[in-house]
C-alpha cells in the first residue's frame, strides 16, 4: 500500500478489524519511510448489475425500486415490512449469485411473482395484473384459475 503522504510504496499494518457491519475491513497502517499513520478500507468489489428493460434500455439495478414495487402490491395487506425486505434480499441474492452482469426485467418480474405467491395471493394477483398487463377480465380470470389450480 502506497503512503498517501510521501508516496513510499511500503507500509506495515498496525491493526485490522471488521467495519461496516462486516462488509469491509478497516486497516490502520504506518508508512515505513515517513512513519505517518493512515487508515484504509478493504471491501469486496461488487459487480454492478444492469437491468435490461423490455424496450432494450439498460439501467442499474435499484433495490429501492424493487422494494417499492413489492410494497405497492402489498398495500393494505398485513405483511410485515421485514418479510418484504427479506423477499427483496432473496431476489437480489439470486440475481447476484447468477453471476450475470445483465439481467432481463422479465426474470426479475418472475422472481417477484414467485415470492409474492408465497407471501400473499392478493398481492401476487395485484402485481401480476400490472406486470403481465392484463388486457381484459378473461386474462385476469385465467391467472386466478391457474392460482386456484396450483393450491
The residue ranges of every structural domain in the chain are: 11-43, 50-149
Return the pLDDT at 150: 75
Are the C-beta atoms of residues 24 and 43 closer than 8 Å to each other?
Answer: yes
Return the pLDDT at 48: 84
Q: Give the pTM.
A: 0.64
Those residues of the chain that have pLDDT short of 70 are: 46, 151
Return the pLDDT at 147: 73
Number of H helices, E strands in the chain: 5, 6
Return the pLDDT at 36: 97
Return the pLDDT at 145: 81
The grid coordinates of residue 122 equal: 392478493
Q: Is residue 60 helix, strand or coil?
A: strand
Amino acid at each position: 500500500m502506497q503512503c498517501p503522504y510521501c508516496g513510499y510504496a511500503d507500509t506495515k499494518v498496525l491493526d485490522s478489524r471488521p467495519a461496516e457491519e462486516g462488509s469491509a475491513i478497516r486497516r490502520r497502517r504506518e508508512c515505513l519511510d515517513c512513519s505517518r499513520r493512515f487508515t484504509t478500507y478493504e471491501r469486496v468489489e461488487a459487480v454492478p448489475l444492469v437491468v435490461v428493460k423490455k424496450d432494450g434500455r439498460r439501467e442499474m439495478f435499484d433495490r429501492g425500486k424493487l422494494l417499492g414495487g413489492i410494497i405497492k402490491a402489498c398495500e393494505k395487506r398485513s405483511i410485515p415490512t421485514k418479510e418484504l425486505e427479506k423477499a427483496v434480499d432473496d431476489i437480489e441474492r439470486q440475481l447476484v449469485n447468477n453471476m450475470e452482469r445483465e439481467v432481463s426485467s422479465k426474470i426479475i418480474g418472475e422472481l417477484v411473482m414467485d415470492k409474492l405467491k408465497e407471501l400473499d395471493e392478493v398481492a401476487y394477483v395485484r402485481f401480476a395484473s400490472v406486470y403481465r398487463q392484463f388486457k381484459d377480465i378473461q386474462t385476469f380470470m385465467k391467472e386466478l384459475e391457474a392460482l386456484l389450480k396450483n393450491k
